[in-house]
Structure 1
Amino acid sequence: MEPPIDRITLSQSAKDQLLKLRRNTKIDQWNILCRWAFCRSLAEPTIPSPVPIPANSNVELTWKVFGGEMSDILIIALKQRCHNDGFPVDKETLATQFRLHLHRGIGYLAGDPNIKKIEDLIAVALPSQN
C-alpha cells in the first residue's frame, strides 16, 4: 500500500517531548513512541488544528520504519479518519493529516501527567474499568 509520506521529520518540540517519553517509559525506539502517539491522536474525536509544523529537528524516520509491520493498517486508519472528517484521501491531504495527528499525539502523550512508566502508557490504550 502506498504510504502518505516517505520520510517523516519531526519538529524540535516533538523531539523534546519524545525524549521525555523515552525517559519515562524506557522505550528507546522513536518509531514505537510515534506509533503510540499517532494512534492516540486518531482516538481523539476532534480534528487536529491545522497549524504549521516545522521539520526542524534531526529526528527523521522513513514510513517503513515508522509503520513497521503495521504500516498498511496505519495507512487504512489514516484514510478512514480523513474520510470520517470529510477530507479527501489524496496523497497531499493524507501527508498533512498524518503530520498533524502525529504531532498532536506526541503532545498529548508527553503532556499527560499520568504517564510515568510504560504501564501508564499501556493504560491509556485500555478501556477504563469503571
Structure 2
Amino acid sequence: MPVDNVRLSQPAKDRLTYLKRTTGITQWNVLCRWALLLSLKDPSTPLVKDIVTDSNVEMTWKTFAGQHGDVYLALLKQRCAAVGQEVSDENVARMLTVHLHRGIGYLGADKQMATIEGLVDAVVAL
C-alpha cells in the first residue's frame, strides 16, 4: 500500500477549518476528497515544493479514501504515469500530497466554493 496515512500542513488545515465552517461539511476526509479531485481535474503539473505536513490533522488512507480507495489510488497512479514518473509507492504518496495541497489551495481561494453548491460546480464543470 503506497499510502498509509494522510497528513496536512498547517496552512491546509486552516483553509479546511474555514471551509468546514462555511460549507457545513464537518469531516476532514470529505473536504480532502473534493480537494484531491479538483486538483487532479487540472491537467497542469502542480508547482513542486516541499510540503511540511506539520498540522495535527492526520487520517488513515482508509478514512481518507473510504470505500473508493481503489479509485483514488488508480487516479494517482495514472497521474504518475501521465507525467512520466515511475509508479512507485513513494511517487504515488508524493503525488497525493502535492495534489491534495494544491486542491485545498483551490478550495480556499475561490469564494464560490464556500458553499456545497459551489464545490459541486467546481468539480463537475466541464
Q: TM-score interval w.r.t. the shorter chain?
A: over 0.9
- Cα root mean square deviation, aligned: 1.0
Match of 1:108 in 2: 106
AA paired with 1:14?
Answer: A
Q: 1:5 aligns with which of 3, 6, 27?
A: 3
In structure 2, what is the Cα distance between the partners aligned to 1:126 and 1:77? 16
The count of aligned residue pairs is 126
In structure 1, what is the Cα distance between the partners aligned to 2:33 and 2:118? 16
Structure 1 stretches of at least 4 aligned residues deviating more than 4 Å after TM superposition: none
* Structure 1: gaps (5+ residues): none
**Structure with the larger helix share:** 2
In structure 1, what is the Cα distance between the partners aligned to 2:88 and 2:125? 33
AA paired with 2:87?
Answer: V
Match of 1:83 in 2: 81
Q: 1:71 aligns with which of 65, 69, 72?
A: 69
AA paired with 2:20?
Answer: R
Contact 1:24/1:115 (<8 A) preserved: no
> Secondary structure in 2 aligned to 1:93?
helix
In structure 2, what is the Cα distance between the partners aligned to 1:18 and 1:62? 17
Aligned identity (percent) is 46
Deviation at 1:16, TM superposition (A): 0.1
Contact 2:7/2:53 (<8 A) preserved: yes
Deviation at 1:32, TM superposition (A): 0.4
Q: Is 26-35 or 48-57 further displaced after alignment? A: 48-57
In structure 2, what is the Cα distance between the partners aligned to 1:102 and 1:83? 18
* Structure 2: gaps (5+ residues): none
Contact 1:82/1:88 (<8 A) preserved: yes
Match of 2:90 in 1: 92
